[in-house]
Structure 1
């Protein structure tokens, strides 16, 4: 299970008395290491902010295993060099460190928080088990008030089990022994503590969870679940804060919070306020009506900060959660954001780093990947088989970067493995559901955990459908994909993964999948294992009306070839208005997998003069030809020829203009603007999301190998799209010395 199990502790009144007496005897706050002097010392939950009173527990811990005693740096998995251990296939270890909370927390409840620990964690304080948690990707916390005395040291231990045989547990792309069927695309495991650990003070009765949804576009639906001393009947106040708003009067804060408030400029206007009373189960809900709602979108990622206060006076609890007003629709074959057509231009991101594995080496590195994706022209990131840190999601909210979120899965099917997979859905939604940037919830990927056999197994098909139903009951404000890639049985999107090196075959199959002529396509599951996979896992799945999109593609052995395929394969996806988006694979290399536009250290590769941002722009050129080879789209022409070009436009309004072309030096980067040697007739108005009519240019031949720069220029002479063709000799591949093919046996 991924839901944490917290062991029984003394009654709240006894715990409060104990804390109060210890505060009297304590001389003052325990010394704390400044957060920014420890690895990843930033507050881990800016989207659910309690940074007024918290301590990071990242840094050096004692580490015990079958190898003996050592020191480990948290939060880096024990397989990574950054951890100081760098030990693969270690299956169990115990972390240990001193823990002390300030005397000023004596009247608070203290909660110990873990970002993620793979796979089973047993947490103890001074030898007393306070709780256990199973599930390597989900966050968890324990109220440890009764186990600590403010101002005094305690010993915190985390015993971790991480089996080498991961096939029946949630592990995503971590390598397993025995090996997974998909071992060729698996990486070094991530074991132990691999996300931040921290402790924070909360009110005597506190908000255990805050759920915000803004899909009404008029207000924020708030649901608060309480814990602590007296959840039933507790008073809950919620309000929307302006920038830099101070805590409400009467809510206890420490000196750091007060100084931060002063620096921010004090109180700002409050847009909405709501007072609630929790029911007998400690739950309260209502809607914060927004007077002049401002919607969240990639173009204007406006966020609302919602303050939640539980109780009154010094023991009150305060937390500030963040969300946005935005709605998603998926019907009539298309996606819509706030009522407007949405086309997803995405890149797959596996969130791995060379020295630190699944954990970003720093906050700067974590957030930089979003900026890199945007620089490459992408409007969405598919975070692949990993629940990324909340700081990353919060930054996506701020930037307006869309996110396709999906959990990891087991690799082998059994009812028990399917249950473990579903156990992580509720914690995933509880932690991440407030983020407006998340526009797709993915579930299974390519039938991993379903033995690649939905069509041939009723039980496996039912498991995929059951995961969909489970997720829909938790949150259906976004479209759900029950099995990304193929064999859909119950899904809000029909997505497909297809890798094809031949441009003509790619163009044909992309067209036939769009028109419905084709439903199946070849998938190479191993060096000698190719199967035909269908978009659909049942005859009952509707063939029309459900949005269709690609969610994995890309080809090429070298970086130059990959850039070439990116250019041509993406234009074929843009050619067909039936599609609602695509996801290029991938952002950055991971270990032996060299499919990234960037290398593993996030350095640019040789794209041969291509600017990926041109390929992924709102407006692009679609050229009517089948290219021959990377660096030689066409042979060097010997006489004038005609070139047919179309415009694909995904802006808000129609565009019109002309296409211009000019030869430049072979391999040269495109100039900022054309110096037209050839120009098309006027391009009639191109409506958004409708491929424009063909226009033809007559191109004079170059003197030698050259690059034909292509521009779409609108009626104001602004360049709206850029592409190019390479003209060069195409030689047959050198196969000298190849062994003759074996003669078949009679």
Structure 2
């Protein structure tokens, strides 16, 4: 087995386009040979992600929904084609001349898509589908997520336009369907000519919520994801149907439910089942379009150690959807003079990883549900009770898996771009993606922040919302005539207007102006968590809020060529890792040493939670628990189990202890 750096020449044939780059016609799909694969890559086939994709409002009866994942037609547009389409009145329909096969739902830049494109800024998709004659009155077309701006046509009729690369959306396409025979679905982007798919990523002059994506990847910024990257499906619904469910259940046994509908019906039947059973625990009629709260007796609580869930069914007229909830309360309180995060009224130490959710074969999209759950189980196995979902949003089934397996989630809002790329080949177009004008960018960021919360606030596992990461997109010192800290407080209040059941981490790392529930510090490699010392962009610990180490560690260990992202720039930038350890054994030893530092800070100061960087390697980063291909687990599992348990034990001793605690005002230390 060759050492990583010694195998550089071996990497070049794949890294720089000399591998399998077979061009597909509109006929068959061919899996590309990317820079790296996973154990699940070859198992994907041409019917990926067959599972019903929306577990909290499921119409999963096989006779009621139809998965549209699979091989579609795709075409990337050149500058000349774009200019021609802009000038002409283009008919939406028919074959994509000069197109190729694409596997939905995988990013156009990924190997699994069969395209493995670059600068896929303007694109077109096409597929056909049949609607069963037995279906109900209305047919809904659903998209899990499309990056970034999508215009949807069915049989030539414009049925939807959507902006935002991380959010689900649907549309009633009943009126656009053919009476008999095959229907044609075109997914296109951009308002210039209404026939394109548009994803600017960090193309100048646009600034959109994009997380870690960059058109030209570099070290901690990765290959972008364009196009359809989550499941597409059809659903049969009656005319009177449920649009959305909001469900929250507290540790005191209260359930708060809102059933959203545009129907004229005024009440729905709500049934809560005994956990793990079809026996009915509670049944009542509830009014629609208003929040209703009612008590449930003898409930079992949800926690990482006991992730108890209760199934739910809601019926409105002839429409029935399935859902679930978990009874738990997230709050904050003072224990022995220290601000703490509380789950069901108790302080437990929140310890998790920075979870980026990238895959070498599918990029934003895991190759399968099994693969996605593999990561979660690897963390649970050694005792992690939390992950910070880092400036990315996952498919709904990820959140269900965290609910089921018992993993608390700190959910980030995808960050705005940190830099722009200007490319003459791709002229600007007056579309809805915000340009660099600060006021426009901020309004769009705020709008999508609200969408994040509204689409995810019913998952029991989510315990905290993060607004800004390390100042990325955070307004500069003066914005629109006001100090930037005003924006921090305004957005914190905005989040709480949409969800009062969770904590808010306004700024994780760097420019903290005192808003939110947490004082969050990033420090590599050693922790500085609620301590009386600080450095870099951090400020002295604020004892009026909860101390959390939002990122730390980041220690890396080089891997052999077969497990590395075989791209020259990524290989060269491995040396930028915060710390590189010579062997896996040394890496585990260094982790043990860092754990002891964190344990000391829990025992003696105000540290309430920490986020270890990171779950897996990603492209040029080699500091994961797992390698990017998920084939190597670096952890000495017994050591990690013991060290993580020691953190929890240290936190337990602080529930009423008289240890040294940082209690003074900013810049002061109290004993």
Shorter-normalised TM range: 0.7 to 0.9
Alignment partners' CA distance in 1, 2:543 and 2:480: 23
**1:377, distance to aligned residue in structure 2 (A):** 2.2
Alignment partners' CA distance in 2, 1:165 and 1:572: 38
**1:344, distance to aligned residue in structure 2 (A):** 0.2
Partner of 1:66: 77
Q: 1:44 aligns with which of 48, 53, 66?
A: 53
Q: 2:209 aligns with which of 167, 170, 190?
A: 170
Q: Cα distance 1:405–1:687, how it changes in 2: closer, same or farther (>3 A)?
A: closer
Partner of 1:274: 284
Tell me the SS of whatever aligns to 2:223: coil
Q: Can you list the C-alpha shifts for 1:262-289, whole angstroms capped at 9, x where unaligned?
A: xxxxxx32111221333xxxx1432243
Q: Can you list the C-alpha shifts for 1:179-229, whole angstroms capped at 9, x where unaligned?
A: 8xxx541000000001111111122211111000112622211101103xx
Partner of 2:439: 415
Kindly indicate whether the alpha-carbon contact (under 8 Å) linking 2:271 and 2:314 is maintained by their aligned counterparts in 1: yes
Task: Tell me whether 454-463 or 440-449 shows the greater mean CA deviation.
Answer: 454-463
Partner of 1:337: 343
Q: Cα distance 1:535–1:140, how it changes in 2: closer, same or farther (>3 A)?
A: farther
Alignment partners' CA distance in 1, 2:295 and 2:475: 47
**1:385, distance to aligned residue in structure 2 (A):** 0.8
Partner of 2:266: 234
**Count of equivalent residues:** 534
Kindly indicate whether the alpha-carbon contact (under 8 Å) linking 1:236 and 1:284 is maintained by their aligned counterparts in 2: no
Alignment partners' CA distance in 1, 2:45 and 2:359: 21
Q: Cα distance 1:358–1:535, how it changes in 2: closer, same or farther (>3 A)?
A: farther
Alignment partner of 1:399 is 2:413:
no
- The answer to which structure has the higher strand fraction is 1
Q: Can you list the C-alpha shifts for 1:643-689, whole angstroms capped at 9, x where unaligned?
A: xxxxx4345xxxxxxxxxxxxxxxxxxxxxxxxxxxxxxxxxx5658
Q: 1:124 aligns with which of 153, 157, 160?
A: 153
Trace 1:475-624 onto structure 2 (pairs within 5 A).
475-489=499-513, 490-500=515-525, 506=526, 510=528, 514-515=530-531, 517-518=532-533, 520-522=534-536, 532-534=537-539, 543-554=542-553, 555=555, 556-558=579-581, 560=584, 561-577=586-602, 578-606=606-634, 611-617=639-645
Q: Cα distance 1:453–1:194, how it changes in 2: closer, same or farther (>3 A)?
A: farther
Partner of 1:436: 460
Tell me the SS of whatever aligns to 1:341: coil
Partner of 1:327: 329
Trace 1:229-308 onto structure 2 (pairs within 5 A).
231-242=263-274, 268-278=278-288, 283-308=289-314
Trace 1:98-177 onto structure 2 (pairs within 5 A).
98-105=128-135, 107-149=136-178, 152-159=181-188, 160-166=197-203, 168-176=207-215
Trace 1:178-193 onto structure 2 (pairs within 5 A).
183-193=218-228
Q: Cα distance 1:118–1:155, how it changes in 2: closer, same or farther (>3 A)?
A: same
Trace 1:727-742 onto structure 2 (pairs within 5 A).
none
Trace 1:348-367 onto structure 2 (pairs within 5 A).
348-367=354-373
Tell me the SS of whatever aligns to 1:172: coil
Q: 2:122 aligns with which of 67, 70, 92?
A: 92
Q: Cα distance 1:71–1:487, how it changes in 2: closer, same or farther (>3 A)?
A: same
Q: 1:381 aligns with which of 371, 387, 390?
A: 387
Alignment partners' CA distance in 1, 2:634 and 2:330: 38
Kindly indicate whether the alpha-carbon contact (under 8 Å) linking 1:446 and 1:452 is maintained by their aligned counterparts in 2: no
Alignment partners' CA distance in 1, 2:446 and 2:484: 14
Q: Cα distance 1:459–1:411, how it changes in 2: closer, same or farther (>3 A)?
A: farther
Q: 2:258 aligns with which of 223, 229, 234?
A: 223
Task: Give the gaps of 5 or more residues in structure 2.
Answer: 1-43, 79-97, 189-196, 419-435, 556-578, 661-671
Partner of 2:650: 649
Kindly indicate whether the alpha-carbon contact (under 8 Å) linking 1:276 and 1:285 is maintained by their aligned counterparts in 2: no
Alignment partner of 1:210 is 2:245:
yes
Alignment partners' CA distance in 2, 1:492 and 1:187: 30
Q: 2:68 aligns with which of 43, 57, 67?
A: 57
Tell me the SS of whatever aligns to 1:103: coil
The TM-score with structure 1 as length reference comes to 0.68
Kindly indicate whether the alpha-carbon contact (under 8 Å) linking 1:496 and 1:551 is maintained by their aligned counterparts in 2: yes
Alignment partners' CA distance in 1, 2:57 and 2:401: 13
Alignment partners' CA distance in 2, 1:535 and 1:371: 36
**1:243, distance to aligned residue in structure 2 (A):** 6.1
Q: Can you list the C-alpha shifts for 1:61-85, whole angstroms capped at 9, x where unaligned?
A: 0112226411100000110111000
- The structure that has the greater radius of gyration is 1
Q: How well do the aligned residues superpose, as a CA RMSD in angstroms?
A: 2.7
Partner of 2:34: none
Alignment partners' CA distance in 2, 1:495 and 1:326: 24
Partner of 1:466: 490
Alignment partners' CA distance in 1, 2:355 and 2:376: 10
Q: Cα distance 1:305–1:426, how it changes in 2: closer, same or farther (>3 A)?
A: farther
Q: Can you list the C-alpha shifts for 1:72-128, whole angstroms capped at 9, x where unaligned?
A: 0000011011100011112111110012221111x3321111111111000010111
Partner of 1:717: none
Q: Cα distance 1:550–1:457, how it changes in 2: closer, same or farther (>3 A)?
A: farther
Bigger relative CO (Cα 8 Å, ≥ 6 apart): 2
Kindly indicate whether the alpha-carbon contact (under 8 Å) linking 1:576 and 1:691 is maintained by their aligned counterparts in 2: no
**1:426, distance to aligned residue in structure 2 (A):** 2.7
Q: Can you list the C-alpha shifts for 1:128-173, whole angstroms capped at 9, x where unaligned?
A: 1101000111111111122225763210011120115345111110
Alignment partners' CA distance in 2, 1:588 and 1:302: 28
Tell me the SS of whatever aligns to 1:47: helix
